[in-house]
Chains A and B, each alone.
Chain A
Amino acid sequence: MQNQYRLGIDAGGTFTDFILADRKGDVRIFKALSTPQDPTLAIRNGLKLIEEETGISATEIVSNADLCINGTTVGLNALIQHKGAKAGLIATKGHEDSIEIRLGHKEDGYRYDPEYPPATMLVPRYLRRGVSERVISTGAVHTSMNEEDVREACRHFLREGVDSVAISFVWSVLHPDHELRAAEIVREMMPHVRLTVGSQLYPQVREYTRTSTAIVNAYLAPILTRYVEAVDGYFRSLGAKNPVRYFQSNGGLAVGSVVSDQSVYAINSGPASAPQAALYIAEPWGLKNIITVDMGGTSFDITLTRDGRANVSKNIDFLRYRIGIPMIQVETLGAGGGSIGWIDAMGLMQMGPQSAGSEPGPAAYDQGGTQPTTTDANLVLGYINPDGLVGGRLPLNTQKAREAIKARIADPLGLSVEKAAYGMFNIVNNNMVNAIRRVSVERGYDPRDFVLNCAGGATGAHITALAREMGITRVLISKLASGLCAYGQIISDVKYNYMAPAPIRLDGVGAAQRLDGLFAGLETKGVADLTRDGFTQDRISIRRSLDMRYVGQVHECTVEIDPFALTDDALTKLIDAFHARHEELYTYSERQSVVEIVNVESAIWGRVDRPNRMSVAPGKGAASALEGTRPMIFDAGALAQDVPVYAGARLGAGDKITGPAVIEEITTTLVIEPNWQAELHESGVYLVDMIGA
């Protein structure tokens, strides 16, 4: 880091987090309320707040920063609220409806629900137009394109006032000429619309996924373009030396023009930086298998790294829309501080996914909420300070919390309030544990081989309990945990994905050579892009992945490799790796069966220098940070015991705390359960180990 500062800004649902790192190793976190109506307003407000608290002006920070990095929820919010652009689709005639047929499927869990509506069409049927043209599975042209059909579609879109167009044809990935010619016609007839071309945005086999990805991109592009222009302009006006970098769902940074053109990459950028942050936090201990859990007010996000690499998802339904591009796998569950406890029609206690949100919020907020929430349970259990969260700015009403739990949970089930509260705590934890299984066990990983990393403001109260439930014996909690994603963004690299279709069976000759050629083509382009972006060769790294399966399967296992030359010999090893991975996931492999590849991808990184690590002065022993005690409950018997409470700000490096105990940081509360011991490391991270494990 050559300049004075690096600034990270991550917009979340409730708060926008700011991380300001300086050259000396001072890393500070600030929070401003998010402003979804005008997302740039929260940035201005936050910078004003930083000036108030530190005396350093926005201009001084930005003009002396090597990088300003922004993770945004603009795309996410537009998709959630269906407030994207008016977009049109040009498709192969006969296939205009694949996007609405949605593979003929209704989501699990809603099969008999008469109230569950179909997904809202981002491009309604009257804005989807077919063109006579057809390429077949061999890549040959079966029917050449009727250009007049494209022109007719444009005339229709012009009449309807469409401002973004997606083009997606069947098998265009094997023969993009038709799409490219159609794009020329659209540009000529509609020069002012944003244009998304399926085979360019997402060159992978699977028509439904590609078309859907193109549509989501077209739907968001005009909105992200406006946003990027506003943010870039604001930072330029403050004297920024370098363009603002935006954080993408693939876990890397991009410049604004990429986000405008490939908006779908910006869709879930916030939590995607968690794996990067986790690896950075764990680096002093050399830990590379990490599950990061991030609990906020309404949701719980889980990410995982194994051997230092993040789980990546492709071809998933995101907010009910199929998206193909590689995204850091984020498993999201409706479980947070505001999750409501209730009793279902069968008589079983449940937590969430409904949330009391911030208004009225948990009963303890005393803003009229009468439904018992996770926060209410944690308060009754003594875990969180009744004087309130966020440094005492929001006092909590224990009586209201007790009343809500008594009326809705304890009385109907015939339990004491304390037992009910402990039950709520347990059930929300178990919901989270089941979700953690989806990123670990379902991927063939044993969670006991991982450490658990804490992110988000509400997670600290649950973190040792979650580890206990998963059989995990080591936990990491950064003092910056509540702003961990913004922290992850300022230590991330630039990353772009380059993809190609490769429907190749690995039983003939020449397969290795073909693949090698495909990768070389992708990587030449990627390296050129990063070189243009100012990265020298020594800062560029490449990772390849191949989607492999047994011939006849339709789901692929993604196998990742380094960019070595793909000889026949290397290919044999690759196939072995696939058999092994299949066995890991599904308990068996078929060594005698032919393996095929469907798609390939190269991820290309441009390394960005890291800011200096946070540093904490040596401590004088934990006793000096003792604040007092509070009665707390740590078992199903619901017997309260007096438990020490420590002020995190007064703890120093090397200080040790044995559970049961609570450590109160400014933006989060850490519950150290019995049988756990925490030690604050000089890097500002609590290393919490199960005693005797």
Chain B
Amino acid sequence: MSHSKVDPITLSVVRGVLETTQREMTLTLEQTARSSVFNLAHDYSTALFNATPEMILQGQDIPIHLGSLIPAMKSVAKYFEGDIHDGDLILHNDPEYGGSHIIDTCMYYPVFYQGELVFWTVCKGHLTDIGGPVPAGYNPAATEIYAEGLRIPPLKLWDRGKPRNDVINLLLSNMRARRDQQGDFNALIGACKVGARALIALMDKYGKDMVQTCIAELLNMAEAHMRSLIAKVPDGTYTGTAILEDAGHGFGDFDITATVTITGDSCHIAIQSPPQIPYFINSYEGNSHSGVYLGLMMFAQLPPPYNEGLYRCVSTDMGPKGTLCNAKSPAPHMNCTTTPMETLTDAVRLAFEQAAPDKVSASWGHANGCNIAGWDKRHDEEYVTMVLASIISGAGATANQDGWHACGPECCFGALTSGDIEMLEHSYPIIIHRYSLMEDSGGAGRNRGGSGTCWEVEPLDTPMTLITFGEGRRIPAMGAAGAKSAMVAPKVGSLELTRNGKTEVITNNVIETIHPGERAANRNPGGGGFGLAFQRDIARVVDDVRNRLVSEKGARLDYGVVFANFAALEVDHQATAALRATAA
């Protein structure tokens, strides 16, 4: 137990106010943003930084953003060092300055108090478009970042309280569905200001010095907490290698390896990945931080609040510049927040599983989704969006329970929401024919992985461009503690196109035109299981069969459970025991 240097009561109070502040920022974004990626899907994050700048509170938002805001904020502050004024507002998306992918747009708002820079309120959110040749930014044909969209290094959007309308106009003129992008800009700015308002009130009440002292202590406490968790892991070097499947680039599968070295109460995480490739799955260093930190959190499983103190005892090495997980310009990168991020996360998770075998969760299903774009005849206007409902995968099982259904993908960890289907059909000219769980999609295990989903769409009355991204269409989500599935096919993702009565299964990332009357069904993988599947309680298998989460065949192949009378769900206990014995 660490004894605080400050009054423990004020400390708890300040902590509560910081969390409330961040929550109010998040609500502002959610309730005002235009793009469904923001407002339906919560694909945004908010954070508070001190003047250093160190992250003093990270919202409980998308883990994808968890790490990359830290280097991004530092880059931005450094870029404008000596030139930061009250009323400035900085925009940035460039991965060379710590950004994740350019469609994730960040706003940084310096909070001044009595003439001094004290805090930053920061928001990051996924726009529906960032310009470039392909709607929604994901361009599987891009061989350079220039073919993906607008790249914005740190840029003052407001200068001492005045919006730079010419600059804003230049940016928006280069984006599709301008109304939505403009609305999202406003939402981000509004959220930053809501945060600043609350922080100033906090300093008015307790004084700037007391607030800063408390924050310093909160950072120290988070550090101590993470150190205590790492200290419990035996010293040593642990490695995990995950396979990144070839989703269309033709260079074959790649290995991504994480090496975790534990020394006392600190750890070093080193990543090894192949050289960068001319395909949109390269990850710049800022983004890779997010993958590493998520893998770490799948081990640490900490409750909130989250601040940068957690990572003080963690050092990282993303590998040589110019590799897949430490890309350099002009590598194309748009898919990086899911691919290769999720495989990178798996590698780190797996390394920690070697270190703490009973603690680490199984992998979640990877994102394999689509963006859509076209013309909305109902309102005679352009539309473009990422469809978050199309990336909802199953969660990984844990030592204690089955994985959540329809909660992934791994990079979002349950933080995003897929949106109401009537709201989606209201906003875009589409018909969603199916949004369902899928039989046998959860990874087999003593605790089963969560079910993946199928999202099936038909354009209402005009042709629709459909662009797919991600992977997880051949390799299922990784189990933990020995969990393996015998039936792999239902556990991975795919795109099924039905035209003229014929169905084509696509496992590469593609750009397709879908006409009214044709359908595209996007399947997302289930989560990984935990523990040996043949040890799963028979009653729980039967319950899954009753609910059609597991088929008769799945019960037999994945779980070694045989039915005497399937219609009545009567188990043949003798045959089951015999079958299960074969695996022992």
Chain A contact residues, CB within 8 Å of chain B: 94-98, 100-106, 108-109, 111-115, 117-118, 124-126, 134, 136-138, 142, 170-171, 205-209, 343-350, 412-415, 422-423, 426-427, 430-431, 434, 437, 441-442, 503, 505, 550-555, 582, 585-588, 590, 593, 598, 636
Judged by a CB distance under 8 angstroms, whether B27 is at the interface is yes
Assess whether A426 is in contact with B9, with CB atoms less than 8 Å apart. Answer: yes
Q: How far is the CB of A603 from chain B (nearest CB, A)?
A: 23
Assess whether A106 is in contact with B413, with CB atoms less than 8 Å apart. Answer: yes
- B residues within 8 A CB of A125? 437, 547-549
Judged by a CB distance under 8 angstroms, whether B434 is at the interface is yes
Assess whether A94 is in contact with B433, with CB atoms less than 8 Å apart. Answer: yes
Selected contact of B406 from candidates A100, A136, A582, CB within 8 Å: A100
Selected contact of A434 from candidates B20, B221, B401, CB within 8 Å: B20
* Contact A415 to B8, CB < 8 A, known contacts A126-B548, A586-B190: yes
Measured CA separation A114–B402 after assembly (Å): 10
A-B contact pairs, 9 of them (CB 8 A): A97-B436, A101-B405, A102-B406, A104-B392, A111-B60, A112-B297, A138-B378, A348-B12, A426-B13
Judged by a CB distance under 8 angstroms, whether B156 is at the interface is no
Assess whether A104 is in contact with B39, with CB atoms less than 8 Å apart. Answer: no
Closest residue of A by beta carbon distance from B221: A346
10 tightest CB-CB pairs across the interface, nearest first?
A106-B414, A94-B434, A552-B34, A114-B398, A125-B547, A104-B392, A423-B9, A104-B418, A555-B31, A101-B406
Selected contact of B400 from candidates A115, A593, A598, CB within 8 Å: A115
Closest residue of A by beta carbon distance from B421: A207
Assess whether A111 is in contact with B8, with CB atoms less than 8 Å apart. Answer: no
Selected contact of A95 from candidates B13, B301, B303, B435, CB within 8 Å: B435
Assess whether A553 is in contact with B406, with CB atoms less than 8 Å apart. Answer: no
Q: How far is the CB of B195 from chain A (nearest CB, A)?
A: 10
Assess whether B422 is in contact with A170, with CB atoms less than 8 Å apart. Answer: yes
Q: How far is the CB of B220 from chain A (nearest CB, A)?
A: 10
* Contact A109 to B419, CB < 8 A, known contacts A104-B388, A346-B225: no
Interface centre among A105, A171, A414, A585 (most CB of B within 10 A): A105
- B residues within 8 A CB of A349? 8-9, 12
Assess whether B34 is in contact with A550, with CB atoms less than 8 Å apart. Answer: yes
Q: How far is the CB of B312 from chain A (nearest CB, A)?
A: 14
- B residues within 8 A CB of A636? 7, 9
- B residues within 8 A CB of A114? 301, 361, 398-401
* Contact A587 to B193, CB < 8 A, known contacts A412-B1, A431-B16, A582-B32: yes
Measured CA separation A101–B20 after assembly (Å): 28
Interface centre among B17, B180, B547, B549 (most CB of A within 10 A): B547
Measured CA separation A502–B332 after assembly (Å): 44
Measured CA separation A109–B193 after assembly (Å): 24
Assess whether B1 is in contact with A343, with CB atoms less than 8 Å apart. Answer: yes
Closest residue of A by beta carbon distance from B17: A434
Selected contact of A111 from candidates B35, B180, B183, B413, CB within 8 Å: B413
Judged by a CB distance under 8 angstroms, whether B222 is at the interface is yes
* Contact A554 to B406, CB < 8 A, known contacts A413-B8, A586-B32, A590-B183: no
Measured CA separation A78–B7 after assembly (Å): 44
Q: Mark B193-212, 1 if CB is under 8 A from A, else 0.
A: 11001100000000000000
Assess whether A137 is in contact with B13, with CB atoms less than 8 Å apart. Answer: no
Closest residue of A by beta carbon distance from B401: A117
Selected contact of B33 from candidates A101, A138, A426, A553, CB within 8 Å: A553
Q: Mark B167-210, 1 if CB is under 8 A from A, else 0.
A: 00000000000011011001101100110011000000000000
* Contact A136 to B9, CB < 8 A, known contacts A101-B435, A126-B547, A588-B190: no
Closest residue of B by beta carbon distance from A127: B547
Judged by a CB distance under 8 angstroms, whether B502 is at the interface is no
Assess whether A105 is in contact with B416, with CB atoms less than 8 Å apart. Answer: yes
Assess whether B39 is in contact with A553, with CB atoms less than 8 Å apart. Answer: yes
Selected contact of B423 from candidates A111, A205, A344, A413, CB within 8 Å: A205
Q: How far is the CB of B462 from chain A (nearest CB, A)?
A: 14
Judged by a CB distance under 8 angstroms, whether B55 is at the interface is no
Selected contact of B40 from candidates A102, A414, A554, CB within 8 Å: A554
Assess whether B17 is in contact with A101, with CB atoms less than 8 Å apart. Answer: no
- B residues within 8 A CB of A115? 398, 400-401
Q: Mark B319-358, 1 if CB is under 8 A from A, else 0.
A: 0000000000000000000000000000000000000000
- A residues within 8 A CB of B8? 348-349, 413, 415, 423
Q: Mark B58-81, 1 if CB is under 8 A from A, else 0.
A: 001001000000000000000000
Measured CA separation A345–B7 after assembly (Å): 18
* Contact A206 to B31, CB < 8 A, known contacts A124-B547, A134-B431, A142-B431: no
Judged by a CB distance under 8 angstroms, whether B426 is at the interface is yes
Measured CA separation A209–B423 after assembly (Å): 11
Measured CA separation A134–B432 after assembly (Å): 10
* Contact A94 to B304, CB < 8 A, known contacts A503-B426, A552-B183: no
Assess whether A94 is in contact with B456, with CB atoms less than 8 Å apart. Answer: yes
* Contact A104 to B401, CB < 8 A, known contacts A95-B434, A137-B422, A552-B179: no
- A residues within 8 A CB of B549? 125
Q: How far is the CB of A284 from chain B (nearest CB, A)?
A: 33
Interface centre among A111, A344, A415, A442 (most CB of B within 10 A): A111
Assess whether A587 is in contact with B190, with CB atoms less than 8 Å apart. Answer: yes
Assess whether B179 is in contact with A112, with CB atoms less than 8 Å apart. Answer: no
Selected contact of A430 from candidates B13, B35, B63, B548, CB within 8 Å: B13
Selected contact of B222 from candidates A105, A142, A346, A422, CB within 8 Å: A346
- A residues within 8 A CB of B297? 112
Measured CA separation A590–B404 after assembly (Å): 39
Judged by a CB distance under 8 angstroms, whether B503 is at the interface is no
Measured CA separation A114–B13 after assembly (Å): 27
Q: How far is the CB of A582 from chain B (nearest CB, A)?
A: 7
Judged by a CB distance under 8 angstroms, whether B486 is at the interface is no
* Contact A414 to B3, CB < 8 A, known contacts A103-B419, A553-B32: yes
Assess whether A98 is in contact with B435, with CB atoms less than 8 Å apart. Answer: yes
Assess whether A111 is in contact with B414, with CB atoms less than 8 Å apart. Answer: yes
Assess whether A586 is in contact with B194, with CB atoms less than 8 Å apart. Answer: yes
Closest residue of A by beta carbon distance from B460: A136
- B residues within 8 A CB of A209? 420
Closest residue of B by beta carbon distance from A119: B404
Q: How far is the CB of B145 from chain A (nearest CB, A)?
A: 28
Measured CA separation A124–B547 after assembly (Å): 7
- A residues within 8 A CB of B389? 104
Q: How far is the CB of A127 from chain B (nearest CB, A)?
A: 9
Assess whether B183 is in contact with A112, with CB atoms less than 8 Å apart. Answer: no
Q: How far is the CB of A444 from chain B (nearest CB, A)?
A: 10
Judged by a CB distance under 8 angstroms, whether B15 is at the interface is yes
Judged by a CB distance under 8 angstroms, whether B30 is at the interface is yes
Assess whether A104 is in contact with B9, with CB atoms less than 8 Å apart. Answer: no
Measured CA separation A205–B424 after assembly (Å): 11
* CB contact list, B425-449 vs A, under 8 A: 425-427, 431-437
Q: How far is the CB of B545 from chain A (nearest CB, A)?
A: 9
Assess whether B39 is in contact with A555, with CB atoms less than 8 Å apart. Answer: yes
Assess whether B547 is in contact with A136, with CB atoms less than 8 Å apart. Answer: no
Assess whether A136 is in contact with B431, with CB atoms less than 8 Å apart. Answer: yes
Closest residue of B by beta carbon distance from A426: B9
Given pairs A108-B60, A111-B413, A442-B27, 11 additional interface contacts (CB within 8 A): A95-B421, A98-B421, A112-B298, A126-B548, A348-B11, A422-B9, A423-B8, A427-B13, A552-B34, A554-B423, A598-B426
Assess whether A137 is in contact with B425, with CB atoms less than 8 Å apart. Answer: yes
Closest residue of B by beta carbon distance from A347: B2
Judged by a CB distance under 8 angstroms, whether B580 is at the interface is no
- A residues within 8 A CB of B460? 136-137
